């Protein structure tokens, strides 16, 4: 029974991977935002569990709280508002179909697990399996960013990628406080930046479909 706490940690990290898989085939924006909220909640739970396991890590609880407050509440609400205002609850235009995307996702998950397990044979077992899951979430986030054309879903893909990074940072025992707060802070800045861009893109095009931007790419004359 000594491995139970570690098993729970793996269960939650695995849950995060599952949420990432759910995200890559959501074809409606409102559903995508709901799954992202769940993604953030699982992340917060996972980080909090890590905090419990590592003991005496107030800053990890804080990280979990930040993840819960910003990523599960504030940001999905703001994005949902943008989506509602623009009236784009309709389908997400995926560049690649669902089946190839899922297959690519499964390939990426297999790749990251094989890579991590081979290369980190000497490391702490809790950290190393967490890292494999974290890398999977990061790669799935990347996959989502390249398969979507819509600005909102690219932003969601980017944030799920950041969630993977936080999972990795939480899994690294005793990573210093400075860095974590800074990480959370940068994500906040990043979000503000994106918000500004979304606002401006709408101002110009009345749409958040990035295909509209492709038409104005320079150097085509």
Partner 1 sequence: MTPVALILLIPAIAALLLAAIPGTRLAARVNVLAAGATFLAALALLTEPRPAPGALFLVDDLNIVFIVLNTLVGFTAASFSASYIGHEVAAGRLTPVTLRFYHAMYQVMMFGMNAALLTDNIGLMWVSVELATLSTVLMVGLYRTPEALEAAWKYFILGSVGIALALFGTILVYMAAQPVLGEGTPAMVWSNLLPHAAAFDPGLLNLAFVFLLLGYGTKVGLAPLHAWLPDAHAEGPTPISAVLSGLLLNVALYAVLRFKMLMAANPATLPPGPLMAAMGLASLLFAGLMLYRRRDIKRLFAYSSIEHMGIITFAFGMGGGLANFAGLLHMAMHSLTKSAIFFSVGHVAQARGSQRIADIRGLSVSHPRLAVALALGVLAIAGLPPFGVFLSEFLLVTSTFARAPALALVLAAGLLLAFGALILRLTGFLFGDPPPEAAPVRASTLPIWLHMGLVLAAGIHLPSELVAWFQAAARLLG
Residues that bind partner 1 (CB under 8 A): 115-116, 118-124, 127, 131, 134-135, 138, 142, 145, 151, 154, 158, 161-162, 165, 168-169, 172-176, 178-179, 182-183, 185-186, 189-190, 193-194, 196-197, 200-201, 204-205, 210, 213-214, 216-219, 221
State the minimum distance, in angstroms, from the CB of residue 129 to partner 1: 13
How far, in Å, CA of 176 to CA of 181, rounded?
9
State the minimum distance, in angstroms, from the CB of residue 1 to partner 1: 26
State the minimum distance, in angstroms, from the CB of residue 2 to partner 1: 21
Which position has the token pair 């390249």? 146
State the minimum distance, in angstroms, from the CB of residue 139 to partner 1: 10
How far, in Å, CA of 57 to CA of 25, rounded?
36
Query: What are the beta bridge partners of residue 94?
Result: 148
Q: Which is nearer to partner 1, 32 or 161 (CB)?
A: 161
Residue 53 tokens, joined:
């396991």
**74 Cβ contact partners less than 8 Å away, ≥ 6 residues apart:** none
Cβ neighbour number for residue 105 with a 10 Å cutoff: 22
Q: Which is nearer to partner 1, 73 or 197 (CB)?
A: 197
């Amino acid at each position: 029974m000594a491995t139970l706490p570690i098993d729970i940690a793996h269960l939650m990290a695995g849950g995060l991977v599952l949420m990432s898989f759910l995200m890559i085939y959501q074809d409606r924006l409102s559903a995508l935002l709901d799954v992202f909220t769940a993604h953030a909640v699982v992340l917060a739970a996972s980080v909090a569990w890590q905090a419990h396991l590592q003991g005496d890590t107030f800053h990890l609880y804080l990280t979990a709280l930040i993840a819960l407050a910003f990523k599960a509440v504030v940001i999905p609400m703001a994005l949902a508002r943008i989506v509602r205002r623009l009236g784009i609850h309709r389908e997400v235009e995926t560049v690649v179909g669902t089946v190839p995307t899922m297959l690519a996702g499964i390939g990426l998950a297999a790749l990251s697990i094989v890579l991590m397990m081979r290369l980190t044979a000497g490391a702490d077992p809790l950290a190393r399996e967490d890292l494999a899951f974290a890398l999977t979430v990061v790669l799935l986030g990347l996959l989502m960013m390249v398969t979507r054309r819509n600005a909102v879903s690219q932003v969601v893909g980017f944030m799920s990628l950041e969630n993977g990074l936080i999972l990795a940072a939480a899994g690294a025992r005793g990573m210093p406080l400075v860095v974590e707060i800074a990480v959370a802070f940068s994500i906040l800045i990043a979000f503000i930046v994106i918000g500004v861009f979304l606002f401006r893109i709408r101002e110009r095009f009345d749409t958040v479909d990035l295909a509209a931007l492709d038409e104005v790419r320079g150097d085509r004359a």
